[in-house]
Structure 1
Amino acid sequence: MPAIPSSLLEPVWVQFDALLPARPEFDPTHPLGCHRRRVPDRVVFAHVVDALVHGSGYERIATEACSDRTIRRRLRAWAEVGLGEQLHALALAAYDRMIGLDLADVSVDGAITKAPCGGERAGRSPVDRGKGGMKRSTGTDGDGIPLGLIGTSANRHDSPLLRGTLEASSRQLHHRWPEQVTAHLDRAYDNGPSRDLLAELGFDADIARKGIPAPVQVGKRWVVERTNSWMNGFGKIRRCTDRSASIIDFYLYLAAAFVTVRQLIRRARALYRWDTRLTTRRLK
């Protein structure tokens, strides 16, 4: 059984393949001219997706067609040039063109997950007895489509991450903010620096007040909680064992790209017709 339905995996792979540089099947610089055939990128990408979904170690998902060392080398090369961010930006552009991003309302929130192997994005988790943990701060549009993400250690407060999250969202959107934007935030952002930042950016602030009960269903910030749940459905995000910051960021944006394309396909079913259009809401 595939880790990702083919109707979702193939569109993502087509866009990812378009970002890859052309590489010869054999290494022309080999002194004997008899280097082993290069493992196709499509095969390696399928293994990387397996690692993303299941959260397994590379030794466990390696096969005769692709070794764990090949997965690590190719993954490092892809992460260093920012292919994850580029893929997510393409997914956002396609969603905006076909469905339309709701940028009049944005939500930002943090989520803490496990990072048992430590690394550049790990720290003591305040909600897991001080074990290794990672925090990601996610910005979404009014429908919960992930716009920008940043990863950091679990012991960081949400409020200082607000600027970085909004800047990451701007990069992914190429600074296409409407004239009036309302930021919906929970009470962790109820402080002077957060309000000053939103005023600096020209955003209206809808922030839950400290000491006043405010269920997440009240207002429009519940969508970011749902997006965090979607992201936690990927095993590599829920329990990250990688130590390199660039690889962690690659996985974060790859997961965000899958979330965006999944929502694009589901919402496009009612608006468009195409040859391979799904007949049910469930992706197969």
Structure 2
Amino acid sequence: MKGTKDHVVVEGGGLPLGLAISGAEVHDQQVALATLDSIRVPRPHGGRPRRRPRGLAADKGYDGQAVRQGLRQRRIRASIPERRYAHRRKRGRKPLSDVVLSGGRWVVERSHAWFASFRRLRVRDEKTSVMHQAFQTVAAMFMCLRRLLSPLPVTS
């Protein structure tokens, strides 16, 4: 299969924190931890950038022992729904699913739609993955600038 798949980690409002790309045939679980490792959020008063989110919501494609173990090692609270395996018996304790985290997966889909609004990312003309990732980064910067320059909602 030809093509690429874009992986993105977003914050609660939909702004991208980490980006990664992979081949279209690569399973999401194989790139999940590498995508998390791409997070670097600067702290407001200096110091080392924040590299670990407090919580993570993902879809069923990321339900795997290696991903869950990697998240546990990084001390990241995860909400990943279980896949339904009809052919095997479940043993051990059931993974916890955080209701507060699981309600926000639509934010990632909205962020993918924001990335798709950039023609250069929607129709890939670049031959190298480095150039595609560079355009992803530029699109992420534009998304952050839009958020910074948008007027704040009036509250009464």
Q: Describe how 1:96-245 pairs up with structure 2 within 5 A.
A: 124=1, 132-170=2-40, 173=42, 175-177=49-51, 181-211=54-84, 219-245=103-129
Deviation at 1:153, TM superposition (A): 1.1
Aligned to 1:270: 152
- Greater gyration radius: 1
Deviation at 1:270, TM superposition (A): 2.1
Amino acid aligned to 2:67: S
Tell me the distance in 2 between the aligned counterparts of 1:193 and 1:252: 27
Do the aligned partners of residues 249 and 177 (structure 1) sit closer, same or farther apart at CA in structure 2, a change above 3 Å counting? closer
After alignment, is 238-247 or 196-205 more displaced?
238-247
SS of 2:67's equivalent in the other structure is helix
SS of 1:197's equivalent in the other structure is helix
Do the aligned partners of residues 160 and 175 (structure 1) sit closer, same or farther apart at CA in structure 2, a change above 3 Å counting? farther
Higher relative contact order (CA 8 A, sep 6+): 1
Tell me the distance in 1 between the aligned counterparts of 2:133 and 2:11: 20
Q: Describe how 1:18-167 pairs up with structure 2 within 5 A.
A: 124=1, 132-167=2-37
**TM-score (structure 1 length as normaliser):** 0.44
Deviation at 1:177, TM superposition (A): 5.0
Tell me the distance in 1 between the aligned counterparts of 2:65 and 2:57: 16
Q: Which runs of 4+ in 1 moved over 6 A?
A: none
SS of 2:72's equivalent in the other structure is helix
Contact 2:5 2:21 in 1 (8 A): yes
Amino acid aligned to 2:75: G
RMSD between superposed Cα atoms in Å: 2.0
Extract unaligned runs of 5+ from structure 1: 1-123, 125-131, 213-217, 272-284
Give identity over the alignment, percent. Answer: 27
Deviation at 1:175, TM superposition (A): 3.3
Count the aligned residue pairs. 132
Do the aligned partners of residues 242 and 177 (structure 1) sit closer, same or farther apart at CA in structure 2, a change above 3 Å counting? closer
